[in-house]
Structure 1
Amino acid sequence: MGDKDGVHVLLVSFAAQGHINPLLKLGNRLVSKGLHVTLATTEILRQRMLDSKITTKEKNSQIHLEFFSDGMSLDFDRKNNIDYFLEQLEKFGPKNLSSLIETLSVNEGRKFSCIVNNPFVPWVADVAQEHGIPCAMFWIQPCSLYSIYDRFYNNLNQFPTVTNPDKPVDLPGLPLLEKDDLPSFVLPSNPFGGFPKLFSKLFRELEKVNWVLGNSFYELEKDAIESMENLHPIRPIGPLVPSILLGKDLPSDSRMDMWKAEEACINWLDKKPPSSVIYVSFGSIVVLSSKQMENIAWGLKNSKRPFLWAAKPPEHPSSDGSGELPTGFLKETEEQGLVVSWCPQSKVLLHEAVACFVTHCGWNSTLETICTGVPVIAFPQWTDQPTNAKLLVDVFEMGVRVRADEDGMVSKGEVERCIGEVTEGPKAAELRKKAVEWKEAARAAVADGSSDRNIQLFVDDVRCKAMKEL
């Protein structure tokens, strides 16, 4: 590793692909600014990489990868016991991370001048404090969500309650948010205890972190960012996405894919006319009901447009057919569409054949579609996704949102309607124009604009604190 100034930074991530990849991108930027970077996560990720025989781009990377135990056996089902898993991680993670920090310091001379955590491991700030190391928090959702959660967990504004579950929320810097626009963790109906507990700790103890960095850019969320200036400021340094989406393809661009992408879909796209294909992906976590899968399938067929659907088979097939395609669908649409288990999303979104993206509105996917100027059909499911959908449609103005029936189901007719609206309806040209404007703004922010300035300020501050330690 080229030694420019000997300043070491430790990034600590929750072991999920959508959390690690933005941190790896942050690591790439810090390395390009002359810092040494280590990324630590739990051993389950190393096991998944081995099991999947994943060939990562890590061999080109200048980022050290380290692993620590979350206190549980590798074969424990974390996904289906999430609240218990989060408890155990909070119980055993701090001690094991602390031991790793000491080992790297003593044995390898990696004395960290800053530790960066993400929102799902807030206890890392306590470990940093114990070691006397300044801590930064890297917020991996939009700055608008940061504003919502800070106001919710610190009781600064009124939110829906058990007795008033439909109460709209009016916050500075944001459009009026109805119940269906709010992140699921702030709703009284939220069934998950572990995640709100994490966020509560995080937002009530923000004084433990010296910096809050955001995976967004100022121009995209100007009002929400400015609304936090007198509370707990957030400095956007993104979009932290694969460099190819920003007009470059750097050999050191680290990322991890836990599933092998099917490159054949690019050859398939090459044979399609420009702006003709509907791309569909619901990310790596969401598993839709069999009825919802059926409605999407027949909605795509009825649109009569070519489609590419990344439909990852569920890890644990269920008796009710969740996550599975309807019988006969592949045969009936073999001339019209292509279904793959996982695809190289960056290459797909950059392809001129893609007309729009039917997305669950995870923030990483949202940033990727912003950086490629592709309009969206927003199909949110949970956590931050409903708010991201609201932003895409009403703030960024680059998509339409599906409307669910009273039972929460999106009909095949609704899927077909949205495809028509975003590809050939009266708004289609305006949506595409707006999407392209955001693409150009994102590239400018990272090249030498607002995000690059913010990351440079952070690097200068870390260096300054490191010099004082000498």
Structure 2
Amino acid sequence: MVCSEGVEVIMVSLALQGHMNPMLKLAKVLVSKGVHVTLATNDVARKRMLDSKISTDFISNNSTGRLTLHFFSDGLSHEFDRDKDTGTFLASLKENGPRNLSNLISHLKANGNQFSCLITSPFITWVPGVAHEHGIPCGVLWIQSSTVFSLYYHYINSPHLFPSLENPNGIVQLPGMPEFTVGDLPTFMLPISPPHFRLWVTEFISVLDKVKWVLGNSVHELEEEVVKSLASVKPVNPIGPLVSPVLLGKEETVEGSVDMWRAQDSCIEWLNTQPPSSVIYISFGSIIMSPKNQIHSIATALKNMKRPFLWVVKASEARKDEFPSGFLEEIETEKWGLVVSWCPQEKVLMNQALACFVTHCGWNSTLETVVAGVPIVAHPEWTDQPTNSKLLVDVFKIGVRMNNCGEEGVSAEEVERCIMEVIDGAEALEMKKRAMELKEAAKKALEDGGSSNQNIDKFITEISTKPYTNNV
């Protein structure tokens, strides 16, 4: 057991579902080991949590550690749509965030907090500078795969290793990685990406000289070769999977996650009435808005297969004219499927009724499905999702990828083909077997003596040591 008496950490995250949850889960791991944690985020989270009837008086204690939640302003009103106008949001955050976060840290220090480390999300690149100003050593919680970290790192520092990014079929071969095409790369690297996303890649890699620790939400055994290859340039220490304990078989209820939207628990009741390994689960995350033709294609495929399904379609997407005529009425009458606006995903993935997961391949969803042992149908859209899809299908070998049909997107026939291949295809049993093997490897990493648990203990030991406690 590491000695963490009196150690305090401040963590900084954006108020986005996919950013807050890994931070919160790491916070709860640190608290369980006796560390006192302050989690700071932009204050739109306060409104979203209140709207979802989640308490913002978020104070958690165990026998030794504690967790508190604080907010700072990003300079925009609560009503501003940060998901739709990302550029304006990031610009305002960059202008107002450093001052407001610095004021919060000063306030907390004046009230007796003595932080041994600041851990930031990678998507707010000005935070290491704030940490430096306050004399707090800085770490990053890398919330994507180690593979994506390596791609970004080498792209900025060794651009000669990459072909022209205009050609989606160009070949990329980097240390510790399988062969990629340009089409498998994170979209933030590509010329088609908005300038503020490409700028973020450059800024993030450039501030790594102010970062002492990169903690990766991954598992050493899942990405062993790429982790080894990074050791000599910028080490990434995997401490994941950062998922709710329920997925690890440690608790009966899901704790340590924040849903920014109200989840519909009725879907769990419905799942409990379905046969084992029968239900197709479809969800594309909290940000991506599904194109109309994609909704129509998926609905048509589900109607053709007539297999039980649970489909998350955000309320802002769920316009009746985007579904085939009579589809919603039919499933309401016959009860062979369920369409909901949001659901508690981890509870869904661990339900024995699930047969497969049709996913956008966000990294949080990727880790959750690996830990749950559920095969996948990949339909990536942007950011790191194409790379995660490559890992899931060609490296982890636990699923298949849907192919778009030109500008029309994915067809109903392709959706049906992929789902049936994962459920009943020639490789279906092998995929399920492989998924269960990865599940055990991921769980073992967090146990006593496991690779991730050792990395967490090493980190706590280092921030508890005097040379790092008071100096950058």
TM-score by structure 2 length? 0.93
After superposition, residues 6-405 of structure 1 pair within 5 angstroms as 6-54=6-54, 58=58, 60=60, 62-107=66-111, 109-161=112-164, 164=167, 166-190=169-193, 192-249=194-251, 253-314=255-316, 324-334=322-332, 335=334, 336-405=336-405
CA distance, structure 2, for counterparts of residue 164 and residue 180 of structure 1? 8
SS of match in other structure, 1:333: helix
Deviation of 1:252 after TM superposition, in Å, equals: 9.4
1:317-343: CA deviation from partner (whole Å, max 9, x where unpaired): 8xxx69953442112334321111111
Task: Encode CA deviations 1:93-149: one digit per residue, 9 max, x unaligned.
Answer: 111111100100112x11111000011111110001111110001100011000001
Give 5+ residue unaligned stretches, structure 2: none
Q: Give the distance between the partners of 1:160 and 1:337, measured in 2 at CA.
A: 45
Say whether the 8 Å CA contact 1:5–1:34 is kept in structure 2.
yes
Matched residues in 2 for 1:173 and 1:230: separation? 12
Note if contact 2:74-2:97 (Cα within 8 Å) is conserved in structure 1.
Answer: yes
Instruction: Measure the CA separation in 2 of the matches of 1:325 and 1:361.
Output: 23
Alpha-carbon distance in 2 for matches of 1:79, 1:468 = 37
- Structure 1 pair 93–324 and aligned structure 2 pair: CA distance change class (3 A): farther
Which residue identity does 2:97 align to in structure 1? G
Q: How many residues align?
A: 462
SS in 1 for 2:407: coil
Give the aligned residue type for 1:96.
Answer: N
Measure, in 2, the Cα distance between the counterparts of 1:171 and 1:206.
20
User: Which secondary structure does the structure 1 equivalent of 2:456 belong to?
Assistant: helix
Contact 2:46 2:56 in 1 (8 A): no
Q: Residue 198 of structure 1: CA displacement? A: 2.0
| Deviations, residues 361-418 of structure 1 (Å, cap 9, x unaligned) | 0111111100010000011111000100000001111111101112261100011101
Distance 1:395 1:70, change over 3 A: same
Rounded to whole Å, the distance in 1 between the matches of 2:250 and 2:431 is: 25
Cα deviation, residue 20, structure 1: 0.5
* CA–CA distance in structure 2, aligned partners of residues 252 and 112 of structure 1: 29
Distance 2:232 2:368 in 1: 30
The CA distance in 2 between the partners of 1:373 and 1:149, in whole Å, is 29
Amino acid at match of 1:68: F
Instruction: Provide, for residues 236-289 of structure 1, a one-character-per-residue CA deviation record: whole Å limited to 9, x for no partner.
Output: 000001110011127793221111211111221122111111011111111111
Give the alignment's TM-score, normalised by structure 1.
0.94
Question: Aligned partner of 2:102: which letter?
Answer: S
Q: What is the RMSD of the two structures over their aligned residues, measured on CA atoms?
A: 2.1
Q: Which runs of 5 or more residues in structure 1 are unaligned?
A: none
SS in 1 for 2:287: coil
CA contact (8 A) 1:287 1:322 kept: no
Whether the 8 Å contact between 2:4 and 2:460 is mirrored in structure 1 is no
| Partner SS for 1:78 | coil
Q: State the SS of the aligned residue for 1:79.
A: coil
